Amino acid sequence: MRKRISLLLAAVLAGTTFSLLGPASPASAAVTCGPAGTLRVTPGLLHPVLLGFFGAPAKDHDIDVLVGGPNVVRTFTLTFATCVHAKITPLVLPGTGNGVLKGYCGFATGTGTLKGQPFSFTIVGNTLTATGHVVGKVTVNPVPLTGSCLHVEGPQTVTGSNPFRLATGGATDFVVTGTLVGLNCANALGATETLNRPIPQFLVLLPPFGVHADLGVHTYTMGPCAPQLL
């Protein structure tokens, strides 16, 4: 009998030792949103090259390369029909996020929240990369027939102090494809905006044409998340 008890005690102690020395449970995501969503940007995004050839004789230049120029601060709303939660009943719910961004069609950067979790992001081409409390890569493409990235100026049709008008309001609605993961972060993160300008602004006039360029690039960044166990 004593021998059986000793063997049983040894097995219990061995099991306890293995559980203590074994790997810890991996950190879990608080929420996973995807695989499809929508992004709405207000006002719309335009290409970074502005053409002024169409009836704009008062312009001192006809081409503007505007990357990093006086960016308009835009607002965005990010919506997913499906977000899977780790500790919420029901587990599957819609997800919405919002925030601000700067940039153009082809390159934009911003910061905001998704399901209350802060993140920053950069869009290069049609790929959005999120960092911070929310991580992942998704593609964003304009919804056909809802707005154009085309950026041209022409004569204003009504009298006013500005002799030009935008020929398009830009692309406002985008289809989002992919998955973003909201982490259960232990640390608070804040977004930092920087402007990298490798060369000064310049203007080259070669009548009847001219080129004005500002090649600075804005970026919003956020530090890495320190996940905690759920």
Whose tokens are 């082809």? That residue is 106
75 is written with which tokens? 């607002």
Whose tokens are 């009548």? That residue is 207
In tens digits, what is the pLDDT along the chain, a chain of 230 residues? 444 434 333 333 333 333 333 333 334 578 999 999 999 999 999 888 877 665 455 556 677 787 766 678 999 999 999 999 887 777 999 999 999 999 999 999 999 999 999 999 999 999 999 999 999 999 999 998 788 888 776 554 444 444 444 446 789 999 999 999 999 888 888 899 888 887 788 888 776 677 878 888 889 999 888 877 65
Write the CA distances from 77 to 43, 64, 119, 161, integer angstroms. 12, 29, 13, 33
Q: Where are the beta strands (DSSP E) in the chain?
A: 29-33, 36-45, 49-51, 63-65, 74-85, 92-104, 107-114, 117-124, 127-132, 134-142, 153-155, 164-166, 171-178, 180-183, 192-196, 202-206, 209-213, 217-221
Q: Which of 90, 94, 97, 146 is nearest to 119 (CA)?
A: 97
Write down the pTM of the prediction. 0.75
- The set of residues, in sequence order, having a beta carbon less than 8 Å from that of 80 and lying 6+ positions away, is 33, 34, 36, 37, 94, 95, 96, 176, 180
